[in-house]
Structure 1
Amino acid sequence: MSKGNALHSDQQQSYRIETDPLGEKAVPLDAYYGIHTARALENFPVSERAANRHLFSSIVIIKKAAAMTTGKLTLIPAPVSRAIILACDEILGGALTDQFLVDALQGGAGTSTHMNVNEVVANRAIELLGGQKGDYSLVHPLDHVNCCQSTNDVYPTALRIAAISLLRPLSEAFASLQEALQRKEQEFADILKLGRTQLMDALPMMAGQEFGAYAKAVARDRWRLYKAEERLREIHLGGTAIGTGLGAPRAYIYQVTEVLQDLTGMGLCRSEFPIDPTQNMDVFVEVSGLLKAAAVNLLKIANDLRLLASGPAGGLGEYRLPAVQAGSSVMAGKVNPVMAEMAGLVAMRVIANDSAIAWAAAGGQLELNAFSPLIAESLLESLEILTHAVQLFEQRCIRGITVNKEQCEKHLQQSTVLATALVPHLGYELASEIAKTAQNEGKTVETLVLERGLLTDDQVRRILSPLQITKPGIPGI
């Protein structure tokens, strides 16, 4: 990368010329990025979506920590260190976000994203020192901003920091969803409804018990996601290219980790064997697997609610989901369960992302994984969209669910499953015959038992009591 800045002779006000080992390249005059980013913009117009903003921000935090450390150790001049730190602070405060442009799907194991940050930080630091963008004799993207670093230790460390920062609100979102489901468990605690197995009538249950089961599943997700942060705390900053640490003094390796701990407020720790996290991406597979487990539960709950709220005339109609928008451009009055659908499709995307992460992690070779940008994009997207989906699902669906008591009672009365409660008293064969007869004659199980004089009215009431048939034990005894 050139240490100088040349203006193009024909269009001096439009772009500057920068050089690298491949030759010269025109860079927009007002751009804070440099030649490496300009090449990446030409090479990777793939998704038309820049790398995740949290990843960029985490790299900037690392650049600040590195500049604080290299400046303290006099590995770079003090004025340069101060300028880099100030530039990083401005960016972290929201400046120059439009300069981080490299596509999320790129070759090079994240080098282009990393260099995009190096160049933007360098050029802003140059301005802070009174120079013109592109005058790398003042602040160099590699010699100064990237001092003691490599993409191969910076990029995975930044991904860990970004993932931790997104895991925390996700864990909180699941905690809030759990609490909302538990409130519904209490609210519907006395409402009897038909249970179902394999979509067929099964034993009765309380509507609250149904929501209690959902709450339990979400509680497991909440705890798993809360603990997932521990998997990401080990960083290998200072490992440089392949984890051996060549180019990074021992004092830097120890100090930069401590500085990064302070800047992030995270319990980061230095890897005892940096070659491992340089080449192995399994920790991200593990975390993604926990996201997939949470997505599976979310999809199950969303699909259950869609089915139980189906109708209003032609479906089950036992629950009513909040109506949040019109459901059809042609069918007047139609309202769809769009919040449950949204939760479900986000869950599907997270599951798909997990597959991409697994393939990308397995595709690493020898001392580096070239597919880490796919891991980063997929993992951070999953964390973000799952958080938003859970929050919206809770706020705009779960909180407003009501029970159609009449429909629940109708389905329960029309079903013959209550015959199961009679098995301990009448035997399986007779109870089965009663159930079949009740179905054929359109009568209730209770009516048939009383007509045949098999049990007294008091016995039937005790056996079929909602509190008896929805808890462990033999009803009526």
Structure 2
Amino acid sequence: MIAGGPRGAQPPGRSARRERDTLGEIDVPADALWGAQTQRAIENYPISGYRAFPAFIRAFVRIKRVAAVANGGVSGRLDAKKRDAIIRACNEILEGKHVDQFVVDVFHSGAGVSFHMNVNEVIANRANQICGGGLGTYEHVNPNDDVNMAQSTNDATPTAMRLAALELTKPLCEELDKLASAIDEKAKQYAGVVKPGRTHLQDAVPVTFGQEFSGWADRVRGASARLRAGRTELMELGIGGSAVGTGLNVDPAFSKRVCELLAHEYGEPIAPAKNLFYAMQSMAPFVRISSGMRTAAIEVSSICNDIRLLVSGPRTGFGEISIPAVQPGSSIMPGKVNPAIAEMVNQVCFQVIGNDTTVAWGAQAGQLELNVMMPGINYAVCFSATILTNAVRQLRTKCVEGMRVDEHRAKELIDASPSLLVTALSPHITYARAAALAKRALGERRSLLDVALEEKVMPEADLRRILDPLPMTKGGVQE
């Protein structure tokens, strides 16, 4: 994401050229690769200062490049000189050049017309330069007639959105899988260490750290699997549908050829949508992928809540685990260290959940043949994928991989709580008597074993065997 950039009228002293569109003439910076329609967008939408995510720029430019190949091949409508100039301009952008020329704010109108024309104009102007022409003349390559041949904003934008989401969610799935594996390692490392189990934040029955961590790992792994399943819907593209899905002014072979080329570029099984009207009208694939990210955020945030509880203290909280200290925790309290990474990840997850609400509202706002809320939907999806990928990576590398269990503290807490062990006695002495033992032990601040021995509920050897916390973690009735 590129923030800032040109907004409003041209600064005093900056030279300009005069361009014309269907609304009339407008001044454009003399050295800008964008044109009249982009300039109008700059002046109409000085909203956030945020520009398109790089993955979305790349997606659109790749569409333009393969469209030039297809239009120069399957239909023969685009002559070789124009085709080659467009391809060269696209290659330059994909190499990282001219990225400062994509200046339209992420919040703009009309299904993304402004950003789409920003792409068309930048490519056309650079292609004109390649052909020996000047900026804004479009004497060799025209943004509408040539760069946008056989395309409409209405099919190109949702196609670019799908491609960007595919690109950005792939590393997210990979990071989730890595996080799950890192948690698995901790589960194996501490498989035999018993700790207090808690429900309602109250003492329950013993579990092992391995068991608790295994639950975390499968939660993350499940979130990744759901996200991967959602990605499949993004692989059906509506390119070739033209303005409303009928394919007006598009060669019948165009869609298939473009999808073949994009499949090769992205390494994904991309194909034309079975129903081009659906691909244009419905934002359901973005709702699903955003929902998958929301689910991942919920799971990861919940795990971070657990980490923050388990690391609390270090003397007056749970204190069952320690995590790497990544920064001082207070500007006034010396020596204080906070679970900074987990707190950061929580906040990222809250943002992802909010973005999902934006996607839902945008998706339901579509009308008839088109959803015009695509810019907001696209920004929310790209933003979620980007920040969640980064947050999950930092959680793994800066927190989970360095996490350590305090075995002494865990045993101390087990020994101190009658409530954790008393459940195992219930089948042998009845629920009511076990509850009375636990109540007395708690009230007298004594161990359950001491009170049970004093009341002679059963022989000491049997008591010690039944109240051993490790066998309790394996289920069944303690004999």
TM-score band by shorter chain is over 0.9
* Structure 2 unpaired stretches of 5+: 1-11
Deviation per CA, 1:355-411: give whole Å up to 9, x if none: 000000001111111111010000011111111000000100001111122222222
**Partner in structure 1 of residue 69 of structure 2:** 68
- The answer to whether the 8 A contact 2:35-2:122 is kept is yes
The 8 Å contact of residues 51 and 105 in structure 1, kept in 2 or not, is answered as no
- Partners in 2 of 1:151 and 1:343 — Cα distance? 36
1:119 corresponds to 2:121: yes
Answering whether residue 21 of structure 2 is matched by residue 17 of structure 1, we say: no
- Specify the SS of the correspondent of 1:109: helix
Residue 472 of structure 2 is aligned to residue 472 of structure 1: no
Following superposition, the deviation at residue 263 of structure 1 comes to 2.6
* d(CA) in 1 for partners of 2:224, 2:256: 33
Give me the whole-angstrom Cα distance separating, in 2, the residues matched to 1:466 and 1:422.
Answer: 12
- Which residue does 2:344 correspond to in 1? 342
- Within 2, Cα distance between the matches of 1:13 and 1:427? 88
Q: Amino acid of the residue matched to residue 70 of structure 1?
A: N
Confirm or deny that 1:443 pairs with 2:460. no
SS in 2 for 1:202: strand
Measured against aligned partners, the alpha-carbon deviations of 1:143-185 in whole angstroms (never above 9, x if no partner) come to 0000000011001001111111111111110110000111110
> Quick one: percent identity of the two aligned structures?
42
Partner in structure 1 of residue 301 of structure 2: 299
Q: Find the aligned partners of 2:283 and 2:114 in 1 and give their Cα distance.
A: 19
Q: Which moved more, 1:257-266 or 1:343-352?
A: 257-266
Deviations 1:180-208 (A, max 9, x none): 11111011112111111111111111111
* 116-125 vs 411-420, which moves further: 411-420
CA distance in 2: counterparts of 1:392 and 1:228, whole angstroms: 24
Q: What does 1:233-382 correspond to in 2, within 5 Å? A: 233-382=235-384
1:12 Cα shift?
A: 11
Quick one: which of 455, 460, 464 aligns to 1:457?
460
In structure 2, the CA distance between the partners of 1:226 and 1:127, relative to structure 1 (3 Å rule), is: same
SS in 2 for 1:25: strand
- Aligned-partner residue type, residue 292 of structure 2: L
SS at match of 1:147: coil
In the alignment, the residues of structure 1 paired with residue 150 and residue 191 of structure 2 have an alpha-carbon distance, to the nearest angstrom, of 61
Structure 1 CA distance for aligned equivalents of residues 402 and 256 of structure 2 = 52
Question: Quick check: 2:133–2:139 contact (8 Å CA) kept in 1?
Answer: no
Letter of the 1:467 counterpart: L
What's the counterpart of residue 7 of structure 1?
Answer: none
Which of residues 419, 422, 425 is equivalent to 1:422? 425
Aligned residue in 2 for 1:155: 157
**Which stretch has the larger CA shift, 98-107 or 256-265?**
256-265
Unaligned runs of 5+ in 1: 1-10
Q: 2:3 corresponds to which residue?
A: none
* AA at the equivalent of 1:431: A
* 1:26 counterpart SS class: strand
Taking the aligned partners of 1:255 and 1:208, their CA distance within structure 2 comes to 51
CA-atom RMSD in angstroms: 1.3
Instruction: Using the TM superposition, give the Cα deviation of residue 272 of structure 1 relative to its aligned residue in structure 2, in angstroms.
Output: 2.2
- State the number of aligned residues: 466
In structure 1, what is the Cα distance between the partners aligned to 2:365 and 2:206? 50
Task: Within 5 Å, give how 1:176-187 maps onto structure 2.
Answer: 176-187=178-189
Indicate the residue corresponding to 1:42 in structure 2: 43
Aligned partner (choices 67, 81, 84) of residue 82 of structure 1:
84
The alpha carbon displacement at 1:314 in A equals 2.3
Contact map agreement 1:52 1:380 (CA 8 A) in 2: yes
Residue identity matched to 2:154 = N
Work out whether residues 65 and 263 of structure 1, in 8 Å CA contact, stay in contact via their aligned partners in 2: no
Letter matched to residue 422 of structure 1:
L
CA distance in 2, matches of 1:206, 1:416: 17
CA distance in 2, matches of 1:156, 1:367: 13
Q: Which residue of 1 aligns with 2:137?
A: 135
Q: Which amino acid aligns with 1:207?
A: F
**Correspondence for 1:4:** none
**1:52, 1:435 → 2: CA distance?**
59
Number of the residue aligned with 1:433: 436
Letter in 1 for 2:117: M
Secondary structure in structure 2 of the residue aligned to 1:172 = helix
SS at match of 1:288: helix
Q: Distance in 1 between matches of 2:398 and 2:457?
A: 50
SS at match of 2:253: helix
SS of aligned partner of 2:26:
strand
- Does the 8 A contact of 1:56 with 1:113 survive in 2? no
- Return the alpha-carbon distance in structure 1 between the equivalents of residues 458 and 13 of structure 2: 101
1:220 match: 222
The letter of the residue matching 1:458 is: A
Q: Aligned equivalents of 1:271 and 1:306: distance in 2?
A: 45
Matches of 2:292 and 2:255 in 1, distance apart? 31
Distance (Å, rounded) in 2 between the aligned partners of 1:466 and 1:435: 16
Q: Please list the CA deviations of residues 8-46 of structure 1 after superposition, one character each: whole Å capped at 9, or x if unmatched.
A: xxx998111100111101111110011111110111111
CA distance in 1, matches of 2:467, 2:137: 85
Q: Cα deviations across residues 434-465 of structure 1 (Å, max 9, x unaligned)?
A: 10111111111111122222222221222122
C-alpha deviations, 1:104-145, integer Å up to 9, x for none?
Answer: 011111111111110111111111111111121211000000
SS at match of 1:24: strand
Residue type matched to 1:62 in 2? I
CA gap of 1:13–1:395, structure 2 versus 1, over 3 A, is closer
Contact kept in structure 1, 2:286 and 2:359, CA below 8 Å: yes
Residue pair 2:206, 2:470 contacting (<8 A) in 1 also: no
Cα deviation for residue 413 of structure 1 reads 1.6
282-291 vs 354-363, greater mean Cα deviation: 282-291
Determine if contact 2:124/2:142 at 8 Å carries over to the other structure.
yes
